A and B are shown apart, each in its own frame.
Chain A
Amino acid sequence: EILLTQSPGSLSLSPGERAILSCRASQTISDTYLAWYQQIPGQAPRLLIFGTSNRATGIPDRFSGSGSGTDFTLTISRLEPEDFAVYYCHHYGSSPITFGQGTRLEI
């Protein structure tokens, strides 16, 4: 089983600042199978990034993903008020499918 460890657990920033969220896998994974989701409280998750660096349909270009091997990053270049939420990384390249524990992005 691939364990995903996200850091930091929470991050306090202001609108306009840049956010950098980390996801570390317990073993090397293919960058084809790493995704990021945003979850606003009370809502279902929303796909942001798949295949490490590909933005999903309708996702603004201030969201970007990078990484390889065991270390992956989600960067939000200029925070907007609606970006304050919980973010999860997700490995879907093997069973069981796993998620990180989340990073809470707070104003």
Chain B
Amino acid sequence: QMLLVQSGAEVKKTGSSVKVSCKSSEYAFNYRYLHWVRQAPGQPLEWLGWITPFNENSKTNYAQRFRDRVTITRDRSKISSHMELSSLTSDDTAMYYCARGGIGDRSAFDMWGQGSMVIVSS
């Protein structure tokens, strides 16, 4: 079964950037939409954006409130995706998840990474 394994916890300074990775065990990962979702402590889930499969040229779509700060990429050979968030503030302290979508953009998220904790402090 495909697994999504994320990078470890990060502690960042206010104003800096963080890059979180999500790696799969199977090449089929490259042919599914990949989403990034975050969850601040005690808060609900919040969608950040998605990236399309390679056969759709890895296009991206971001939530409006993150559009100027988030970049999602994917690496075909490493069967992975990265999410970079810039201009960090304490409000960005959260668990960040990658989640597998479907072949199309309108699919539920049937597999999740274990999460990567990002702590932002001054």
SS class of chain B's interface: helix, strand, loop or mixed?
loop
15 further A-B contacts with Cβ under 8 Å, apart from A37-B45, A44-B97, A92-B107, are A35-B108, A44-B112, A44-B113, A45-B45, A47-B108, A47-B110, A50-B107, A51-B108, A56-B110, A90-B45, A92-B101, A93-B106, A97-B35, A100-B44, A102-B45
Question: Taking CB as reference atom, which chain B residue is nearest A88?
Answer: B45
Listed A/B pairs (9) with beta-carbon separation below 8 Å: A32-B106, A44-B97, A45-B97, A45-B112, A47-B111, A56-B108, A90-B108, A90-B109, A99-B44
Report the separation of the CA atoms of residues A46 and B112 in the bound assembly, to the nearest whole angstrom. Answer: 7
Q: Which residues 43-101 of A have a CB within 8 angstroms of B? A: 44-47, 50-51, 56-57, 88, 90, 92-101
The answer on a CB contact under 8 Å between B106 and A96 is no
The answer on a CB contact under 8 Å between B44 and A88 is yes
The answer on a CB contact under 8 Å between B47 and A98 is yes
B46 located at the interface, meaning its Cβ lies under 8 Å from any Cβ of chain A in the complex: yes
Report the separation of the CA atoms of residues A46 and B45 in the bound assembly, to the nearest whole angstrom. Answer: 12
Interface size band for B: 20 to 34
Task: Tell which of A44, A50, A94, A100 touches B108, judged by Cβ atoms closer than 8 Å.
Answer: A50
B2 located at the interface, meaning its Cβ lies under 8 Å from any Cβ of chain A in the complex: no
Q: Which residues of B contact A94 (CB under 8 A)?
A: 106
List chain B positions with a Cβ less than 8 A from chain A. Answer: 35, 44-47, 50, 61, 63-64, 97, 99, 101, 106-115
CB distance from B101 to the nearest CB of A (A): 8
Question: Taking CB as reference atom, which chain B residue is nearest A102?
Answer: B44
Question: What 9 A-B pairs come out closest when comparing CB atoms?
Answer: A50-B108, A44-B112, A35-B108, A97-B47, A99-B45, A101-B44, A96-B63, A47-B110, A102-B44
Task: Tell which of A33, A44, A47 touches B115, judged by Cβ atoms closer than 8 Å.
Answer: A44
Q: Which residues of B contact A100 (CB under 8 A)?
A: 44
